[in-house]
Amino acid sequence: MTEQAIEEKGYAHPDYLVSTEWVAEHLDDPSVRIAESDEDVLLYETGHIPNAVKLDWVEDLNDPLVRDYLDPEQFAKLMSEKGIGPDTTVVFYGDRNNWWATYALWVFQLFGHDKVKIMDGGRTKWEAEGREMTTDVPTFEKTDYPVPTRDDSKIRAFKEDVEKHLDKVGKGGSMIDVRSPGEYSGELLHMPDYPQEGALRGGHIPGAANVPWAQAVREDGTFKSAEELRELYEGKAGLKPDDDVIAYCRIGERSSHTWFVLKYLLGYDNVRNYDGSWTEWGNAVRAPIER
């Protein structure tokens, strides 16, 4: 298949995606910070895009004690240390078709940092094209990043939100489970080839449709066209653009990928990521489950 330019794919908000070529042309742009976020937290050290900073999804983005994300003061400190200002455009990329990159972008948006983009194709495409990699870790002058307000209400769903949402499914509300078919059916507690742990019960939240997250991308890691994505989510899963949608997976990273697709590529206005996902729901006493 001939590669389509991002602008030719019919996305609702194409400005949230950039090509590998665009990134290569902005490696030294002071208004841009490139950030790598991976499932494999040691991958960055083996080689990364020149001038890219590392965002460790455990050490950098999560609270060290409570199951939650860093607080506004911690976020401002992290931004300062990474040389990111409030007007800096942050371009995320990573391994595994950008699933952790979209997770990092989602967290940034909780804090109102809206100048964010995903490098289409991620690390896989950059490497496949033979583009420059380095092990040099860049240093940038610290910024004076103002402490932001964190707003969880618009793009994040909690367990109590999901419980209220159950009665809305099929009545203006939708729920999408982006895990593997085996996890959705309850046969597995995690993806195939991963330790089967993290939840006491298997299955899915009642009324949730199943579209595994990786079906949204092509073999080279780039996102499918808007037409293909609409067929996937609307034609097969029955979602509607004006639905109130909640996406979930196991811990929220795969569902952030689907959240990005629905919100920015297809233009859904009301879509939230339930980051507690199955490790919360599958352990909760008396939480309803379907198989």
pLDDT digits 0-9 by tens, 139-167 = 999 999 999 999 999 999 999 999 999 99
Alpha-carbon span 225 to 288, nearest angstrom: 35
Q: What is the pLDDT of residue 290?
A: 97
* Catalytic residue list: 249
Annotate 78-143 with DSSP letters as a single string. Answer: HHHHTT--TTPEEEEE-SGGGHHHHHHHHHHHHTT---EEEETTHHHHHHHTT---B-PPP-----
Q: What is the pTM of this model?
A: 0.96
Mean pLDDT of 106-128: 98
Q: What is the pLDDT of residue 234?
A: 98
| pLDDT over threshold 70, residue 2 | no
Structure tokens belonging to residue 22: 């665009």
In which band, very low, low, confident or very high, does the pLDDT at 127 lie, cut at 50, 70 and 90?
very high
Mean pLDDT of 81-93: 99
CB distance 82 to 108 below 8 Å: no
Q: At what angle do helices 253-260 and 99-110 cross, to 10 degrees?
A: 80
Among 134-143, 186-195, 248-257, whose mean pLDDT is lowest?
186-195
CB distance 211 to 176 below 8 Å: yes
Q: What is the pLDDT of residue 196?
A: 75
Q: What is the pLDDT of residue 189?
A: 81
Annotate 243-270 with DSSP letters as a single string. Answer: SEEEEE-SSSHHHHHHHHIIIIIS--SS
- Residues 5-37: tens digit of each pLDDT: 999 999 999 999 999 999 999 999 999 999 999
| pLDDT over threshold 90, residue 82 | yes
Say if strands 32-36 and 52-54 run parallel, antiparallel, or are unpaired. parallel
Say if strands 244-248 and 271-274 run parallel, antiparallel, or are unpaired. parallel
In which band, very low, low, confident or very high, does the pLDDT at 197 lie, cut at 50, 70 and 90?
confident
| pLDDT over threshold 60, residue 1 | no
Mean pLDDT of 36-52: 97
Pick 126 or 198 by higher pLDDT: 126
| pLDDT over threshold 90, residue 4 | no
Q: What is the pLDDT of residue 174?
A: 97
| pLDDT over threshold 70, residue 62 | yes
Structure tokens belonging to residue 8: 């030719």
Alpha-carbon span 84 to 102, nearest angstrom: 18
Give first-to-last CA distance, the chain, whole Å.
37
Annotate 198-244 with DSSP letters as a single string. Answer: S-SS-SB-TT-EE--GGGGB-TTSPBPPHHHHHIIIIIIT---TTSE
Give percent of the chain above pLDDT 70: 99
In which band, very low, low, confident or very high, does the pLDDT at 192 lie, cut at 50, 70 and 90?
confident
Mean pLDDT of 76-87: 98
In which band, very low, low, confident or very high, does the pLDDT at 198 lie, cut at 50, 70 and 90?
confident
Mean pLDDT of 284-289: 97
Give percent of the chain above pLDDT 90: 93
Contacts for 246 with CB less than 8 Å, ≥ 6 apart: 157, 161, 162, 165, 173, 174, 175, 176, 271, 272, 273, 274
Q: What is the pLDDT of residue 150?
A: 97
